[in-house]
Amino acid sequence: MNANEMGRRASRLDIFIARMEAQKAFIEMVAGMIDGVEGPIFELGLGNGRTFDHLREILPGREIFVFDRSVTAHPASIPDGDHMIIGEIRDTLAFCAPRVGCKAALIHCDLGTGDPTADLAKAAWLAPLIKEHVAPGGYVATGIALDMDGFEEIPRSEAAELGRYWLYHKPK
């Protein structure tokens, strides 16, 4: 039974669990949708490396470039040097094209802070940058709502709403 059904507000633990469920469900759903879309995956936010590890497990043939300002992941979840792009994403995403060579089939963005003001500020510079790097037919799964012209938002499940997760598609 969820918090709503029990007549109480969602606690931070409820929201965290919903977020992890939505994140995993989205990643797995999108993994099945990018079959016909060429290009690598961009993982924005290595963190502990959990979602990077899940992505490489479910999409073994797909190249994954990971962006973070530093490497603090579990030792078993660190990309090789060619695929770990270290620095402020505002800079590295803007200038990664010569290194990655093509646009991404999927950008997974896990940079949300949970603070609505900080996330709005981040979305303002992130949305135009992300938009620039998605291949036609590609997807963006993100923990921050992004306003991107030319993209359609895939309707969210209740779990995704509670978990603060959004999915966008760039039509071909």
Ligand X SMILES: C[S@@+](CC[C@H](N)C(=O)[O-])C[C@H]1O[C@@H](n2cnc3c(N)ncnc32)[C@H](O)[C@@H]1O
Question: Where does this chain bind ligand X (CB under 6 A)?
Answer: 45-51, 68-69, 88-90, 110-111
Comparison of 12 and 172: residue with beta carbon closer to ligand X: 12
Query: Do 89 and 103 contact (CB within 8 A), yes or no?
Result: no
Residues 6 or more apart from 50 whose CB is under 8 A from it?
Answer: 74, 77
Distances (CA, A) of 53 to 30, 49, 50, 57, 140: 16, 6, 5, 6, 18
Quote the DSSP letter at residue 2.
-
Tokens found for residue 122: 């981040």
Min separation Cβ 66 and ligand X, Å: 9
**Residue 44 Cβ vs ligand X, minimum distance, rounded to whole Å:** 7
Q: Which is closer to ligand X, CB of 37 or CB of 68?
A: 68
- Provide the minimum distance between the beta carbon of 137 and ligand X in the complex, in angstroms, as a whole number: 24
3-state secondary structure of 8: coil
Q: Which residue is nearest to ligand X (CB)?
A: 47
User: For residue 70, what are the CA distances in angstroms to 11, 44, 45, 139?
Assistant: 30, 12, 9, 25
- Identity of the residue, 81 or 155, whose beta carbon is nearer to ligand X in the bound complex: 81
Task: Name the residue nearer to ligand X (CB basis): 65 or 68.
Answer: 68
How many Å apart are CA 49 and CA 79, to the nearest integer?
Answer: 9
Closest distance of CB 47 from ligand X, Å: 2
Choose between 49 and 79: whose C-beta lies nearer to ligand X: 49
Beta bridge partners of 134: 104
Least separation in angstroms between residue 132's CB and ligand X is: 16
